[in-house]
Copies of this chain bind each other. A is one copy, B any other.
């Protein structure tokens, strides 16, 4: 290694460790006035250097990665002391993945998972970094953190393809609507590209996503790359471009839609996305542009901008703005994961009606109804517990009526309830409610309210126009 390269190496490392000897970030009293004191102090202690305009060697980048790794190892120790989750190593496809299982899983996330892709400018970073640990443990959700191959050794599209491999396995193993994801900085580049590629490959879209300070455009295009260069802890020229973007992209164009996914075409069923950036973020414009891109494709996207904060500030455990932003992001993901339940509840009730009532597949009852279910049938009485209900279903459908069919007139879902307005019909071939079989056909309307809990029907109330059925079957003597 030459002397000049040694000097550069030290400079790079110092930049990464936020402890260089170069100039401080300017912050006026009127700018400090709108930030929390701890954030002002943190920003004041940053020093940004402009690297000499030399393309860093691969060897130097790998050395910087090692230094950054030592720094992150210390952070992981702190995170373990705070949260102490179970961290297990696994291989999905042929890709290394860390599974983070928090001590307390939020009951709302039972059976649900998250995917995480770490940042670090494509060349460094760890799948158990602070953002993985803070988000997984604060949310209480089992998290699959992809340990993708880093540049400069692995260039585009290696990491993206690894992420798609993991994605492909997880959407087969879990319901896509039970999967959320988040990422930070360069991890967002991989995550957006993973989703765009997954869509191109015909894979289903997952529920939701959070992008923290997304590097969705690494070409240098955009307003804030210029206006925030020198105001952020991350500089563009020679840092974001020569040190991170070029070693990753290799020969690919920096505006290739899978290299800088803000240039991609977004599908309307793209995961509901929250983008969190900040006024000093070098990539503010990337977040802003991606927000519009998803919205304009018909997708659901929300934007958060933190006042005065810098690139990837969200990874600071205790800064008030960082905690506030993570909380807002987590509320968004929670709402989307739980909101998706309304559609799933409707599908569950439809499946019950079509497959069990109309299709007479009584063996599915245990998948659809909870063991301790309660059925309120009005005149038909109440039934508690799945075995009793199954017995009634079998007796009623095979004993009293044949060719039973329930057609849905209207279905209305809200919260944990699904309301069905239906027409019931069948041929009366056996005794029913104290009446002898008539061999006649009858059709009558009814309504039902189903309450769903933990993915199964827990309780249901019915009001059917049995008087009409009695009239049609001649069970009713007119007048008193």
Contacts and interface: CB of A to CB of B under 8 A. Distances in A.
Interface stretch (A46-54, A96-104, A291-299): A291-299
A402 B269 CA distance: 55
Contacts of A438: 480
Contacts of A328: 295
A224 interface: yes
Given A285-B279, A303-B303, A435-B480, A468 B378 contact: yes
B307 A479 contact: no
A277 to B, nearest CB: 9
Nearest to A467: B466
Contacts of A417: 410, 412
Interface string A379-421: 1000000000000000000000000000001101111010101
Contacts of A291: 304-305
A222 interface: yes
Given A224-B279, A465-B466, A470-B467, A288 B302 contact: no
A302 B301 CA distance: 10
Contacts of A446: 463
Contact of A279 (B284, B410, B412): B284
A221 B302 CA distance: 26
A69 interface: no
Contacts of A413: 414
Interface string A205-222: 000000000000101111
Interface in A55-79: none
A436 interface: yes
B28 A436 contact: no
Contacts of A334: none
Contact of A221 (B33, B220, B295, B304): B33
A410 B466 CA distance: 21
Nearest to A413: B414
Interface in A218-265: 219-228, 231
Contacts of A476: 470, 476-477
A30 B378 contact: no
Interface in A29-46: 30-31, 33-35
A285 B465 contact: no
Contacts of A305: 284, 288, 291, 303, 305
Interface in A449-480: 449, 461, 463-468, 470-471, 473-480
A311 interface: no
Given A223-B34, A305-B291, A465 B468 contact: no
Contacts of A217: 34
B34 A285 contact: yes
A410 B30 CA distance: 53
Given A305-B288, A412-B417, A413-B414, A463 B447 contact: yes
Interface in A1-41: 28, 30-31, 33-35
Nearest to A308: B223
Give the interface centre of A379, A414, A434, A467 by most chain B CB atoms within 10 Å: A467
A236 B478 CA distance: 86
A276 B479 CA distance: 69
A138 interface: no
Nearest to A422: B463
Contact of A435 (B31, B279, B412, B479): B479
A433 to B, nearest CB: 8
27 contacts: A30-B222, A31-B222, A34-B223, A34-B289, A224-B279, A227-B228, A279-B284, A279-B288, A292-B324, A296-B324, A302-B302, A303-B303, A303-B304, A303-B305, A305-B305, A378-B445, A379-B468, A410-B417, A410-B449, A412-B412, A436-B479, A445-B461, A447-B449, A447-B463, A464-B465, A474-B480, A476-B477
List the 5 closest A-B pairs by CB distance, nearest first.
A447-B447, A477-B477, A378-B465, A466-B467, A379-B468
Interface of A: 28, 30-31, 33-35, 217, 219-228, 231, 279-280, 284-285, 288-289, 291-292, 295-296, 302-308, 324, 328, 378-379, 409-410, 412-415, 417, 419, 421, 434-436, 438, 444-447, 449, 461, 463-468, 470-471, 473-480
